[in-house]
Amino acid sequence: MGIVALTMKASVIEMFLVLLVTGIHSNKEMIKKIKRPKFTVPQISCDVKAGKIINPEFMVKCPAGCQDPKYHVYGTNVYASYSSVCGAAVHSGILDNSGGKILVRKVAGQSGYRGSYSNGVQSLSLPRWRESFIVSESKPKKGVTYPSALTYSSFRSSVAQTGETTKAYQRPPVPGTTVPPVTLAQVLTVTVAEATHTTLPRPFPSTTSTTSSPRPQPAGHRNRDTDLWSTADYTSSQNRPGASPGIPRQDLSGAAFQRPATADVSLGSVPKEELSTQSLEPVSLGDPNCKVDLSFVIDGSAGLGKRRFRIQKQFLADIAQALDIGPEGPLMGVVQYGDNPAPQFNLKAHTNSRDLKTAIEKITQRGGLSNVGRAISFVTKNFFSKANGNRGGAPNVAVVMVDGWPTDKVEEASRLARESGINIFFITIEGAAESEKQHLVEANFANKAVCRTNGFYSLHVQSWFGLHKTLQPLVKRVCDADRLACSKTCFNSADLGFVIDGSSSVGTTNFRTVLQFVANLSKEFEISDTDTRVGAVQYTYEQRLEFGFDAYSSKADLLNAIKRVGYWSGGTSTGAAISYALEQLFKKSKPNKRKLMVLITDGRSYDDVRIPAMAAHLRGVITYAIGVAWAAQDELEVIATHPAKDHSFFVDEFDNLYQYVPRIIQNICTEFNSQPRN
C-alpha cells in the first residue's frame, strides 16, 4: 500500500513537472508568434467552399478572378458554407477581383440567406444551411494563431495539401446489418450504384395495383382520377427522380403550381453546376436544431389519383430536403395508408436527405380506401418503437396527409396516439364541399384528431396545387421542440391521487383548508379524461375512496366534487391508507400516465408506513408527503419519493399550506421536464 501510494505520488509529481515544462514551452511559442506574426498564409483556389475547410477561423490567400459567376456565393454578409470563400470575399467588398489575403471565421448555420448584388458579384438565396462564415480584412487578431495549413473535410480537395488530415465521414450502418464504417468514397460509389441500377429491390413492394382493379369506394368517397384530371395519366416510367410532378401545364392556373420557393434557389433546385459537385460535400449529420423523430403518414387511397399521389411524393421529397435529415438532426420514416397501413421505411432506414429522397421517389401508390384512423393506430403501436429507430430523446411527430376525408374514424386513434406522446399534425387537402359533408364519417375530424384546435397542429389547403405553401410552416412547426410539448406536458399527463388524513386531530375548519389545498393543486392541471385525472382517498383508521380517476372529466366537476368531500374523523393509519390508494386508485391508472400521489397528514401514523411507501415507490408512484402541525418529519421522509427534500414538506399550521402549492407544482414540472421526451 505504502509503496503504491509512493509510486503514485511520484508519478503525480512527474506529471506536474511535465505540464509545467510544456506550459512554459508553449507560452514561449505564443510570445514568439505575437512578436513575429509572419507565417505562411495558405493559398486556395476560387472554387473552394468554406464547408470544405474544417478550421473554425483561418487566413487564406485568394487568387485573382474570383468574381466569376461560376463561383457561387449564397447569402449577404453572412454566407452559407456552401459558398466559394473567395467569391464571398469579393461580394462583401473585402477583396477586389485581383485577389489577396482574407480572414475567414465560421459561424452558426442560418435559417435563411439573402441573395444580393454587390461588388460585381450576384449572390444567391438559400433557405437554410448548417454552417456559415463571415469574411473580414486580414488583420490578424492579437493572440490568435492562424493555421498555416488548412484541414479539409473531404478526400478530394481542389488544393493539394500534403500531410494534412482528411476526415472520413461515416454513414450510420444499414438497419439490421453490422457494416464497418464507410468512407465518403465508398458512400459515393454505393449511391451512384443505387441511382443507376433500377433493378434494386424495392423496400416494400406494393401489394395493390391502383390501375388494374380499383377497390370499391364507399358511398360518397371521391374517386378523382376522372374529375379534375380527364387527360391521359402519365405512366410511372416517366416519373423520374427530380422530375416535377407530371402535371400538364394547361392544368395549372397560371403559375399556381411551383416548387416551394421562398428563396431564389431552394435546396431542392441547387443549380446544375452545384449538383455535380454536391457529392463532394460531406454527408450531413442533420440539423441539430431540429432533432425530431418524424413519421409521415401519406394518402395512398385509390380516390387520390396518380397525379395527386405524385404531388404528395414531391412534397415529401421537398420536406426531406428542407429538414436536413441526419443522425444528429431529424429522422423521417413513411407509412402509406389505403385499406390498411403499410410501412414504406422506418426512421433509421435513410439517414440523410439525399438517400431519403431517393427512397421517397420509389414509393408506389397502394390504392384502396382512406383508412386514416387505422394508420394512426399502426403508427402508435409500431412505428415509434425502438427497433424502428425511435431515439427516445427526440420528440415523436406524425404528419398525417389527408385528401378529402377519411373513410374511418380518427378521433379515438389520434387520442391514443397523443396519449402515448405522439404530436399529431394533420395536413388536409381539398376538404369536403358543403354538399359532400353528409358523407363524412366524422365531422370536423382534423380538429378532433389534433392536440388542440389553435391551428398549430393542422394545416389546410384548398387544392393540391397549394400544398407547397404548407412546406415552410410545417418545417418550422415540427422543429419547434418547445411547442411540441402539447401532447404531453407536466399539466396534462398525470394521474394525480390525493390521500387525505381525515383524523380527529385535524378538525372541521382545517379539513376545509386541506380540501382547498387539494383544489388549488388540482386547478393547476389540465383536467379531462385524456389529460390529467384526479382521484382522492380519505383515511382515518379506515379508508374510503372519495372518487376515482375516471369519475370526473372536467375541472368544474372535479372542483365541485372536492368541495363535497365530507370530514370523516377518527384515527391515523397512514400506512394502510397508502396501500389502499395503490389498490383503489393507482391500480386503475393508465400505463402512460405519470402517477403522482400527494399525501396530507397532521400526525404520526398508528401503523407502519415503510412497506406501503416502498410498494408505492416500486410501482413508480411519485409520492409527495405534506405534513402539518404534529406530523413526524422522519415519517414524511420515508413516505416521500427520493430525494425526500424535493418530495416532503412540513408546515406548522394548516393556514400556511397554501404556500406549498406553487412549490409542489414547480417540482412536478421540473421533474417532468428533466425526463427524456416521450
Ligand X SMILES: *[C@@H]1O[C@H](CO)[C@@H](O)[C@H](O)[C@H]1NC(C)=O
Q: What is the contact surface with ligand X in residues (CB under 6 A)?
A: 513, 516-517, 520, 657-658, 661
Q: Which is nearer to ligand X, 319 or 626 (CB)?
A: 626
CA distance 171 to 286: 12
Q: Which is nearer to ligand X, 353 or 520 (CB)?
A: 520
- Using the structure block, give the residue that is written with the C-alpha cell 425530431: 292
Q: What strand order describes the sheet that includes 341-345?
A: 341-345, 331-337, 293-299, 396-403, 422-429, 458-461
Q: How far is the CB of 656 from ligand X (least distance, A)?
A: 9
Q: Which is nearer to ligand X, 428 or 520 (CB)?
A: 520
Q: How far is the CB of 627 from ligand X (least distance, A)?
A: 15
Q: How far is the CB of 546 from ligand X (least distance, A)?
A: 18
Q: How far is the CB of 496 from ligand X (least distance, A)?
A: 15
Q: Give strand pairing partners of 601.
A: 627
Q: Which is nearer to ligand X, 485 or 657 (CB)?
A: 657
Q: Which is nearer to ligand X, 48 or 664 (CB)?
A: 664
Q: Are 48 and 150 in contact (CB under 8 A)?
A: no
CA distance 558 to 268: 53
Query: From residue 242, how far is each of 250, 268, 400, 659 by CA, in Å?
Result: 21, 9, 24, 63
CA distance 307 to 247: 7
The residue at minimum Cβ distance from ligand X is 658
Q: Which is nearer to ligand X, 309 or 498 (CB)?
A: 498
Q: How far is the CB of 358 from ligand X (least distance, A)?
A: 59
Sign of CA dihedral 460, 461, 464, 466: negative
CA distance 41 to 460: 55
Q: Which is nearer to ligand X, 503 or 520 (CB)?
A: 520
CB atoms within 10 A of CB 81: 24
Q: Which is nearer to ligand X, 520 or 605 (CB)?
A: 520
Angle between helices 306-323 and 471-478 (to 10 degrees): 50
Q: How far is the CB of 669 from ligand X (least distance, A)?
A: 18
Q: Are 403 and 409 in contact (CB under 8 A)?
A: no
Grid cell locating 104: 475567414
Q: How far is the CB of 649 from ligand X (least distance, A)?
A: 12
CA distance 375 to 601: 48
DSSP assignment of 154-176 equals SSS-SS--TT--BPPPPPPPPTT
Q: Which is nearer to ligand X, 359 or 657 (CB)?
A: 657
Task: Give the β-pairing of 543-547 and 594-601.
Answer: unpaired
Under 8 Å CB-to-CB from 179, ≥6 apart: which residues? 173
Q: How far is the CB of 563 from ligand X (least distance, A)?
A: 12
- Using the structure block, give the residue that is written with the C-alpha cell 503525480: 12
DSSP helix/strand/coil, 199: coil
Q: How far is the CB of 598 from ligand X (least distance, A)?
A: 12
Q: Are 97 and 64 in contact (CB under 8 A)?
A: yes
Q: Are 64 and 84 in contact (CB under 8 A)?
A: no
Q: Which is nearer to ligand X, 634 or 653 (CB)?
A: 653
Q: Which is nearer to ligand X, 523 or 617 (CB)?
A: 523
Q: How far is the CB of 663 from ligand X (least distance, A)?
A: 11
Q: How far is the CB of 501 from ligand X (least distance, A)?
A: 15
